[in-house]
Structure 1
Amino acid sequence: MGNIDNFTPVERSFLNDTLRSNKVNVPYIAVDNFPNLGMLTAFRFLEWVSENPKGVISLPTGKTPEYFIYWTRHILENWDKENIIRLREKHHLLLEGKPSLADLHFVQIDEFYPIKSSQANSFYHYVNKYYIEELGLKRENALLINCDEILLADGKTFEEIFPDNKVNLELRYREAQNPLEKLQKESIFLIDNWCSEYEQKIRTLGGIGFFLGGIGPDGHIAFNIKGSDPYSTTRLTSTNFETQAVAAGDLGGIEISRERLVITIGLETITYNKNAVAIIFAAGEAKAPMIKDALELPPSNLYPASVLSLLPNGRFYLTQGAASMLNDFVDHYYRSGNWSQEKTDKALMSLTQKLNKYAEHLTLDDLKEDQYTQLIPDLNENTVQSVIDSIERKIKKGTELLSNEVFYHTGPHHDDISLGLLPYIHYQSRNEINTSYYSVLTSGFTAVTNKFLVKILNDTLSFVEKGEIEMLNYPDFFEIGYKNKKDKDVYHYLINIASGNADERSRAVSHRMVRNIVELWGMKTQSDVEEKIREIIATINSSYDGQNPEPKIQTLKGMIREYEEELVWAHFGVRTKNVHHLRLGFYTGAIFTEKPNRERDVIPILQQLKAINPTVISLAFDPEGSGPDTHYKVLQAIAEAVREWGKEKNLSELKIWGYRNVWYQFNAADVTHIFPVSLNAMSTMDESFTNSYLSQVEASFPSYRYNGKFSHLSIQTWVDQLKAVQLVLGKPYFYDNESPRLRATHGLLFFKEMNVEEFLQSARELEKSTEGIHH
């Protein structure tokens, strides 16, 4: 946690009394969830503002600040209400009067270049909306990065100088080849000059007094990517793949973010004022490796956030998950509470990895010398065998064939269920006395790019004009017919995967698009349909990349994802009536999606639970929001529905399966089921993914961990999980096994079974902390 002597009263009120190590470069505080992270940051910010009412602040954009912005506003607006007074007392924010934000100076951290300031996905727009307007700062006291106002050669606009939004920084170092390049070269130096002036303005103000920032997948802060010079200042620069993958969501796809440069303050801009309070906040276990590097390895340009070690008031504010790989945390895990088989499994597995030694070759001395295996109670010659037995039991459990089960598989987004559980689902669905239902809880339209939608609409228009969508001629098609035979669109598509006929596959997609357009816009004739398609294409072509479309086009994009989901399960003989699309209302494509509410988001799930009456519910288990914030909001909604259902039905037999996939993984010690995945199962998953998730195959929104399809990343995860388990069981356990299924193992899939009480316990922690939050 670092030296806590200079922690402020607010910070001390959030310290739990467990972790007290000084072995980190920057002091940190860990809280138990994402909303509390926002609350801690808001209280610390207001504490600082009360002492520095005219200070200079720099606050981040993106999704992480959601609860920081919420709590800052909520505390200020309800300053004298009883519940906020109690909260202020608890967290030692005992001030004479309410802090005022009116005289603060604001510095924008970064911006894409080029981007129009009017676009809702520009950081300029975000800062104006969420900080200047919502928190009541004065615009005249703000230093902002408005790309439209940065002067370029000959007084031209960036659209004229950089017609395709591409800025080639090589022009800094080489001769221009033509008149346009000459203007571009001159403009790049003008932008460089603007950046130097921006830096100077910040220094004239005395530097940044309060800096708050997130941490990127490569450890970046602001857009200071891995390798950035700790003495860097404000500049125009390019980014790396990890950063582009994360920015793809803002810009409408990796193909756009890959080309876009950024203007960012530098690492020295952040540390220039030696008295600055500089805070990095991070939520979720996916951030744990970057946090560990920044806090525990010697500071270097490989870990940009380690620059905070130069500031006495540098801090990291983390959720438990983000802190989970820090030595303090690992130590606390083993030394506190009761010892369990899970701890024995984890300690021994981690020792096999540390020593790169198979479990059967570990000696008792190895176990006694390791700081954690030495803590195992009754350590003896059989300890290793107890771990081998424990892992074998999980494999046995994973391969048991289930009967008479009703599975209710849920996913926050389309493709989550498939990426998380497909080989196991396929294995259990071969037993025809089991029934499976699939329910995707949000519409997922943000994953369909404008380019993809326009291509499908153009194809559809062409088929309609050529008279190749015959159902348009059926007498009752526009009244009722469009709703029928959706299974036929699915079958039509899949049969043409088998025969390799791409044109017919495209026609099957167009069939579904025509049904969707008739349903959404209430069309009555073929010419209405043609006109509407042309109108939608025109609307999309006139919008900027990453623009949130109007609600009906959102729904249309979501319907493409719904069709894709039906295609996946139809590979395994599942009918469309068993694939449900809930389109929960909190998911709107806004920067901050709303908190789920009972009527709109919980009741639809509850109704499905009552209608289906499942014996097993599977769900994406992400209680800290390691992945997209949609994950933990969906988790909340499911938990609430299960809680309600439990009021009228005994759920003691109900099983909950938590799965993970490309956003974060389980440790084998944490799970109850380990399922062997064969090469055959891997190729089945990859093919069904590639054939069905048409909008995802080119991965416009890839994981920062892998530049390619999510299905390949899932397979990579299974392979890595097998490697970890092989160190415990030995390779011969698999290739010499009596069972052909185990001999064919080339990857392992993990999931965790919980009873209702265990599941609600994990979800309740988050629920408690968000009480009273309604955006």
Structure 2
Amino acid sequence: MARLNLLEETRFEKLPVSVFKNPKEASISVAHRIAKIIQDRQLNNQHAVLGLATGATPIAVYAELVRLHKEEGLSFKNVVTFNLDEYFPMGPTAAQSYVYFMKEHLFDHIDIPAENIHIPDGTLKLEDIPAFCLAYEKKIEEVGGLDMQILGIGRTGHIGFNEPGSAPNSGTRLVTLDDLTRRDAARDFGGKSNVPTKAITMGIGTIFKAREIVLMAWNQKKAPIIKKAVEGEMSSEVPATYLQLSDNVEFILDEDAASLLTRFDTPWLVKDCIWTEKLTRKAVIWLANKLGKPILKLTEDDFNNNGMAQLALEKGPVYNINIHIFNKLQHTITGWPGGKPNADDTQRPERANPAKKRVVIFSPHPDDDVISMGGTFIRLVDQGHDVHVAYQTSGNTAVWDDDALRFVEFNIDFAEKMGLEQSEMKRIYDDMRQFMEQKHPNQVDTPEIQTVKGLVRKGEAIAGARYCGLTDDQIHFMALPFYESGKNQKNPVTEEDVLQTMELLQKIKPHQIFAAGDFEDPHGTHIVCFNIILEAIKRLQKTESWVNDCWLWLYRGAWLEFETHEIEMAVPLSPQEVERKKFAIFKHQSQKDRAVFPGDDAREFWQRAEDRNRETAKSYDDLGMADYEAMEAFVRYKF
């Protein structure tokens, strides 16, 4: 019976999928599968032949293999490896090369013989590539073929660098990279313009010959393409869908990457559900959006014809369900994000008391506060709350070189006009210019340049916070140590990051904390900053009584917005407040026109924020709520 139930749940899935709680558990599982292959081959005095991938996805797998080698004696002397791909052109010592990556994360830490390592050569002449690719295929055959091929998946659906349009029988070859693939790699290269346009990759046909194929994917960013790969029709537009043809493939996902699969996203379509309040709300909003109807106009037939007959039967009549969800959604809307004084707060998202709250807005980058919740920020100040903003990082990697030079030039000219000593400033300026003229992509800036760029963003943040109504003693610059590596790859979080955050919280003793809950930012900074806040709060809970009266609200907006069914507080903005928010964002001049790390969205940050806030308001309007100009959305994090 359990087997039949599982088959029913997964009936939309066209290949085997295993879902783990988090990437760490999944990675350990894959690493142990690899270790077993190696050990089984050792018992038979045979080579274990592995197809390896690069990128963020397999890093934890390699870390566990290294641990197994160092702590449990797993030997790699019988292992032969073939990497999937390499950029072209690309030197092996370049920080972005996959030779460098594999050495850093695996090969330099295990006992694999150097002659057993094979990675496509990014230094070849163009005319030599076809012969190299044929030889690469032949080497795989000569050692008996791949025992296991591990894969990641790109957001174009590419496996290896087999981009849309690749044939299912393709072999190792030179390919042209998709624009989205190059945008995703931009962070590693210091900008998309520095990303190679071509790569050498194993073909889909080569991958298919492996005796086992394991595709791994983590986080919500991969969820849309995973749904297409697992449940979509086979198409050259999504090369990973060709894996549906293999009998030897398995997708290993964490919960976030699997979140859009039917059995998790809309489970009522594949099984009987336990209709919790949260699931009921999600289903009713989904149905209203699917049919283009306000919630209060949904009918019994609408429920029955769209997989929700069980809900209608258990919780009905349907109209009562509609009214209940409508009221719950209505109650998320408030013009008082700090709580409405002297009001009945039983149906409001925030408490009425204390009437004047101490508030901390944590901003991972110096502009996340105004981009993501600028309207609410201004509203909290206008309504008399004691609002503080804490900029967790300097954001100094996201300033253009020429902007940094411009500010130093201003200082030199200012010193000259005022008759001040300027020789030292001129020396620093000359050093900066010389460095920038010879600077390589993603090369770490000199300390002086890092300082100038950090000060550029600090000045902009001060201007934005002042515009929102704060005084200077309410503006805090943390410059958390984890960020200050001077490069896109940040340092590990340390005790100092947590202690600084605890110190600030102890000083303010807030009733409300607002923190970035948008973990799709291409820097990866938001999730790191959130985890630091969370650790600080958990420690303070043990000794500080005020923490029990502190609520943590998550905001989004710069990269992704909350789904309507997730929203627990929606703050409507008038047209005038939308304008005020926009002017607060404008204070961040270094991020206007063209940001260093814009992500996928070509719009400027103020445009993204404005459009998303209007889209949130429209989503409420479509469901039958009042028609507001714009809305900022929040979700409360429960400890």
The question of whether the paired residues in 2 share the 8 Å contact of 1:19 and 1:328 is answered with no
Q: CA deviation at 1:441?
A: 2.0
Q: CA deviation at 1:333?
A: 8.2
Q: Structure 2 length as normaliser, TM-score? A: 0.87
Distance 2:393 2:177 in 1: 31
Question: In structure 2, do the counterparts of structure 1 residues 61 and 608 end up closer, same or farther at CA, with 3 Å as the change threshold?
Answer: same
Question: In structure 2, do the counterparts of structure 1 residues 325 and 683 end up closer, same or farther at CA, with 3 Å as the change threshold?
Answer: same
Distance 1:592 1:34 in 2: 19
Q: Which of the numbers 489, 500, 510 marks the counterpart of 1:604?
A: 500
The question of whether the paired residues in 2 share the 8 Å contact of 1:410 and 1:438 is answered with yes
Q: CA deviation at 1:590?
A: 6.5
Q: CA deviation at 1:559?
A: 3.6
3-state secondary structure, aligned to 1:674: strand
Q: CA deviation at 1:144?
A: 2.1
Distance 2:378 2:496 in 1: 32
Distance 2:39 2:268 in 1: 37
The question of whether the paired residues in 2 share the 8 Å contact of 1:112 and 1:262 is answered with yes
Counterparts of residues 299-698 of structure 1 (less than 5 Å):
299-330=234-265, 339-372=275-308, 374-375=310-311, 377-380=314-317, 381-396=319-334, 401=340, 403-431=355-383, 433-448=384-399, 452-453=400-401, 455-468=402-415, 473=420, 526-549=422-445, 553-587=449-483, 588=485, 593-597=490-494, 599-621=495-517, 628-650=523-545, 651-695=547-591, 697-698=593-594
The one-letter amino acid paired with 2:56 is: K
The question of whether the paired residues in 2 share the 8 Å contact of 1:113 and 1:262 is answered with yes
Partner of 1:714: 609
Q: CA deviation at 1:263?
A: 2.7
Distance 2:561 2:164 in 1: 24
Question: In structure 2, do the counterparts of structure 1 residues 378 and 37 end up closer, same or farther at CA, with 3 Å as the change threshold?
Answer: same
The question of whether the paired residues in 1 share the 8 Å contact of 2:404 and 2:453 is answered with no
Are 1:48 and 2:37 counterparts? yes
CA RMSD, 1 decimal: 3.1
3-state secondary structure, aligned to 1:606: helix
3-state secondary structure, aligned to 2:333: helix
Q: Which of the numbers 204, 208, 211 marks the counterpart of 2:149?
A: 211
Q: CA deviation at 1:694?
A: 0.8
Partner of 2:232: 297
The one-letter amino acid paired with 1:57 is: L
3-state secondary structure, aligned to 1:570: helix
Q: CA deviation at 1:261?
A: 2.7
Partner of 1:739: none
The question of whether the paired residues in 1 share the 8 Å contact of 2:521 and 2:599 is answered with no
Q: CA deviation at 1:211?
A: 2.1
Distance 2:543 2:272 in 1: 38
Question: In structure 2, do the counterparts of structure 1 residues 112 and 346 end up closer, same or farther at CA, with 3 Å as the change threshold?
Answer: same
Are 1:37 and 2:12 counterparts? no
Distance 1:130 1:690 in 2: 41
Are 1:234 and 2:172 counterparts? yes
5+ residue gaps, structure 1, are 5-16, 80-97, 152-187, 474-524, 735-741, 760-775
Q: CA deviation at 1:605?
A: 0.2
Write the deviation string for residues 9-36 of structure 1: whole angstroms up to 9, x where unpaired. xxxxxxxx99963541221111112322
Distance 1:372 1:552 in 2: 62
Q: CA deviation at 1:658?
A: 1.0
Q: Structure 1 length as normaliser, TM-score? A: 0.73
Q: Which of the numbers 162, 165, 168 marks the counterpart of 1:224?
A: 162
The question of whether the paired residues in 2 share the 8 Å contact of 1:18 and 1:332 is answered with no
Distance 1:606 1:324 in 2: 33
Question: In structure 2, do the counterparts of structure 1 residues 719 and 202 end up closer, same or farther at CA, with 3 Å as the change threshold?
Answer: farther
The question of whether the paired residues in 2 share the 8 Å contact of 1:230 and 1:268 is answered with yes
The one-letter amino acid paired with 1:63 is: A
Q: CA deviation at 1:120?
A: 1.5
Specify which structure has the bigger relative contact order, considering alpha-carbon pairs within 8 angstroms and separated by 6 or more residues.
1
Distance 1:709 1:3 in 2: 50
Q: CA deviation at 1:425?
A: 1.3
The one-letter amino acid paired with 2:436 is: I
% identical equivalent positions: 24
Distance 1:586 1:336 in 2: 46
Q: CA deviation at 1:467?
A: 4.8
Q: CA deviation at 1:192?
A: 4.6
Q: CA deviation at 1:250?
A: 0.8
Q: Which of the numbers 59, 63, 69 marks the counterpart of 2:56?
A: 63
Write the deviation string for residues 486-524 of structure 1: whole angstroms up to 9, x where unpaired. xxxxxxxxxxxxxxxxxxxxxxxxxxxxxxxxxxxxxxx
Q: Which of the numbers 629, 633, 637 marks the counterpart of 1:750?
A: 633
Question: In structure 2, do the counterparts of structure 1 residues 560 and 462 end up closer, same or farther at CA, with 3 Å as the change threshold?
Answer: closer
Question: In structure 2, do the counterparts of structure 1 residues 568 and 108 end up closer, same or farther at CA, with 3 Å as the change threshold?
Answer: farther
Counterparts of residues 246-261 of structure 1 (less than 5 Å):
246-257=184-195, 260-261=197-198
The question of whether the paired residues in 1 share the 8 Å contact of 2:442 and 2:488 is answered with no
The question of whether the paired residues in 2 share the 8 Å contact of 1:344 and 1:373 is answered with no
Q: Which of the numbers 94, 97, 103 marks the counterpart of 1:122?
A: 97
Partner of 1:75: 68
Q: Which of the numbers 192, 214, 217 marks the counterpart of 1:279?
A: 214
Question: In structure 2, do the counterparts of structure 1 residues 282 and 712 end up closer, same or farther at CA, with 3 Å as the change threshold?
Answer: farther
The question of whether the paired residues in 1 share the 8 Å contact of 2:75 and 2:111 is answered with no
Write the deviation string for residues 76-102 of structure 1: whole angstroms up to 9, x where unpaired. 3222xxxxxxxxxxxxxxxxxx53223
3-state secondary structure, aligned to 1:323: coil
Q: CA deviation at 1:596?
A: 2.4
Write the deviation string for residues 541-589 of structure 1: whole angstroms up to 9, x where unpaired. 3231122345564454444333332232232233444332322223336
3-state secondary structure, aligned to 1:410: strand
